[in-house]
Structure 1
Amino acid sequence: MAIMDFGGVKEDVVTREEFPLAKAREILASETIAVIGYGVQGPGQALNLKDNGFKVIVGQRSPSKSYDKAVADGFVPGVTLFSPEEALEKATVIMYLLSDAAQIAMWPTVQKHLTKGKALYFSHGFGVTYKDRTGIVPPSDVDVFLVAPKGSGTSLRRLFLEGKGLNSSYAIFQDATGRAKERALALGIGIGSGYLFETTFKNEVYSDLTGERGILMGALAGVMEAQYNVLRKNGHSPSEAFNETVEELTESLIKLVGENGMDWMYANTSTTAQRGALDWRKPFRDATAPVFEELYARVKAGEEAQRSIDTNSQPDYRVKLEAELAEIRDSEMWQAGKTVRSLRPGK
């Protein structure tokens, strides 16, 4: 463990220096890791583990697009690619990476294969935290833990191929073997985490659901739409409104924030931009704080979880989802964005 200072608060984190890949391989040398679910997180985590020298198999139904993708990614039917039931039987570590709704549906099958001493791995605390709603209650004689990369599986894989890493949280829910923590950390290093910080299943899902609905996706999209609409209402062209709202943020400023921090970005913009940003930061913060408070309260009460379970398990969910996405895709703002992206140099 390394003790790091996060704005005056000390935290223990695990880095590759004190937990090298060789140590992770040693810990998991006798394990067969089955990745169940080859959709959002599955491919990135499975391929990174495979490339790092771990024994990885994939459990995926055939025929399916995900099965075909696993084959295209180099997993061999009957050798490293099996039906979910076969993979669950062979595994000593089950990486349960299906969507939350799919985890609920498949849980009875997974539960049958959770024999004593196995490990059940999640990348999200949803199923266990909301067990009264999901029915996911692991048996007491298996290890249960999570490693949650702070980004998409696509980003995890891309950064791995670039020799970098995506930071991850980890949590131990149940230590039946006395090896749960070392197994979790070894898998965290194996999937290519930049560093690992400790959390709980409950805190992981509370922060994740809040972040997704908040600044990472929901709030960001909403604020962008609001500014774009105000600019258009006041006579600005679609190109100008989109560039000032989205393009400059995504292609320039947010990258500087990620590399150096918000204060650095402020210090390296015009004095007019500095003054305006500093003056308006607090009004935006104060205006949105009540929305975030309401959002967190709904997450904590399980209302957002139930909303997800109810809607995502409906047979026509994909049809309704496509209609909602089409509304965004066909809006003037994102049609303008499509044109702006096509005009980027090198396209």
Structure 2
Amino acid sequence: MKEINIAGHSEIIIERTDYPVERCKSILKEEVTAILGYGPQGRGQGLNMRDQGFQVILGVRRGRSWDKALEDGWVEGKTLFETEEAATRGTILQYLLSDAGQIQMWPMVQSNLQPGNALYFSHGFGIVFKGHTSIIPGSDLDVILVAPKGSGLTVRNHFLAGRGINASFAIHQDATGNARGRAIATAFAIGSGHLFETSFEKEVYSDLTGERCVLMGMLQGAFLAQYEVLREQGHSPSEAYNETIEEALESLYPLVSQKGMDWMYANCSTTAQRGALDWAPKFHKVLKPVIQECYDRVKAGTEAQIAIESNSRSDYRQQLERELAVIDGQEMWEAGKQLRPLRPENAQI
């Protein structure tokens, strides 16, 4: 474990070397982990646990997810079951359905939970917004969270590459006295790189804010705004795309990931440095109030209510596909479709 101190705030970071696989297997030796749901997180976490030799089963409904599970090597009647049967077999239930799916399936899951079981989440939504979700676990359960800081696809790909993705963990209820051990051991069983502790509330507030802002919503909005300005000023699609997206993702953002923003600045031209240093405060002034508004709406439950109402509609999938098609059809991303294959590593010889 490593203690870090940032601006007087001390945190303990738990590293993979603190909990090697054999230690995690010892902690979980009497456990059967039942993963309910085979979306990106369910698939990534489940396959990583299975590959590392943990006792893990999968619970899904018959259909596309069931067929995908069979393709991935889960065995019907042995490691693959319908959702309700898996819920009865598990001692740790990884509740990895969508937020709307968790609401729908909660009565069934609740009825199958036994005293001493652990109810595991990778997102604090259902617990924190219980007034909207009605997900209120009994006091005789451990309620734990492990939230990988990335998509389920990244969880899987990082594991296959021998890396691992960082995750937060939290304990909402510790009925057995073993909740912390269960959470940490499972976190490394799913392939986490290192862990930091949080609460269900802080996880969901930061997660929903991040998704709406710099991770997704703001990113799309900023990319589109700059691309449109360049195009309106007569720049070609290729130039607008390269100066807005390609250079960001392929050249500059990896430098930020490696050693920080100052490192990226230091490895750019003096002209670029001056411009970035001058304009960053202007964007900070404009954007911080918008992000604060977003955070306040998240904390108040407004964004949760919007998400639940949207995701619970019978035509949700069709509406989502229409909205994604609008983004997919934007000239900016049409340019990307034609330019990405021309990257040297993608070019056909």
TM-score (norm 2): 0.98
Q: SS in structure 2 opposite 1:12?
A: strand
Identify the residue that residue 231 of structure 2 maps to in structure 1. Answer: 232
Identify the residue that residue 290 of structure 2 maps to in structure 1. Answer: 291
CA distance in 2, matches of 1:65, 1:278: 50
Identify the residue that residue 51 of structure 2 maps to in structure 1. Answer: 51
Q: Does the alignment pair 1:37 with 2:27? A: no
One-letter identity of the residue aligned with 2:43: P
Identify the residue that residue 25 of structure 1 maps to in structure 2. Answer: 25
Identify the residue that residue 144 of structure 2 maps to in structure 1. Answer: 145
Across the aligned residues of Structure 1 and Structure 2, the Cα RMSD in angstroms comes to 0.9
CA distance in 2, matches of 1:259, 1:56: 35
Identify the residue that residue 338 of structure 1 maps to in structure 2. Answer: 337
In structure 2, runs of 5+ residues without a counterpart are: none
One-letter identity of the residue aligned with 2:284: R
CA distance in 2, matches of 1:274, 1:75: 52
Equivalences for residues 86-105 of structure 1 within 5 A: 86-105=85-104
CA distance in 1, matches of 2:268, 2:343: 23
Deviations 1:281-340 (A, max 9, x none): 110111111100100000010000000000110001111111111111111111111111
CA distance in 2, matches of 1:236, 1:7: 44
Query: Matched residue pairs, number?
Result: 346
Q: Does the alignment pair 1:158 with 2:154? A: no
Identify the residue that residue 312 of structure 2 maps to in structure 1. Answer: 313
One-letter identity of the residue aligned with 1:125: G
Identify the residue that residue 132 of structure 1 maps to in structure 2. Answer: 131
Q: In the TM superposition, what is the alpha-carbon distance from 1:23 to its structure 2 partner? A: 1.0
Deviations 1:213-252 (A, max 9, x none): 0000000000000000000010000110011000111111
Q: In the TM superposition, what is the alpha-carbon distance from 1:7 to its structure 2 partner? A: 5.3
CA distance in 1, matches of 2:245, 2:144: 38
The answer to which of 180-189 and 315-324 deviates more is: 315-324
* Structure 1 residue ranges (4+ consecutive) displaced by more than 6 angstroms after TM superposition: none
Identify the residue that residue 261 of structure 1 maps to in structure 2. Answer: 260
CA distance in 2, matches of 1:106, 1:82: 15
Deviations 1:39-86 (A, max 9, x none): 120011001111111001000111x11111111111101110000111
CA distance in 1, matches of 2:325, 2:219: 18
Q: SS in structure 2 opposite 1:41?
A: helix
CA distance in 2, matches of 1:40, 1:156: 9
Deviations 1:255-278 (A, max 9, x none): 111011110111111111111111
Identify the residue that residue 185 of structure 2 maps to in structure 1. Answer: 186
CA distance in 1, matches of 2:261, 2:249: 14
One-letter identity of the residue aligned with 1:298: R
One-letter identity of the residue aligned with 2:55: K
Q: SS in structure 1 opposite 2:40?
A: coil
Seen in structure 2, the aligned counterparts of structure 1 residues 285 and 260 have a Cα distance that, compared at 3 Å, is same
Identify the residue that residue 247 of structure 1 maps to in structure 2. Answer: 246
One-letter identity of the residue aligned with 2:288: A
Q: SS in structure 1 opposite 2:39?
A: coil
**% same residue:** 58
In structure 1, runs of 5+ residues without a counterpart are: none
Q: In the TM superposition, what is the alpha-carbon distance from 1:5 to its structure 2 partner? A: 2.9
Identify the residue that residue 16 of structure 1 maps to in structure 2. Answer: 16
The answer to which of 273-282 and 10-19 deviates more is: 10-19
The answer to which of 66-75 and 228-237 deviates more is: 66-75
The answer to which of 295-304 and 70-79 deviates more is: 70-79
Identify the residue that residue 202 of structure 2 maps to in structure 1. Answer: 203
Identify the residue that residue 2 of structure 2 maps to in structure 1. Answer: 2
One-letter identity of the residue aligned with 1:208: D
CA distance in 1, matches of 2:9, 2:253: 25
Q: Does the alignment pair 1:115 with 2:98? A: no
Deviations 1:135-170 (A, max 9, x none): 000011010000000001111111111111100000
CA distance in 1, matches of 2:199, 2:38: 25
Q: In the TM superposition, what is the alpha-carbon distance from 1:8 to its structure 2 partner? A: 4.9
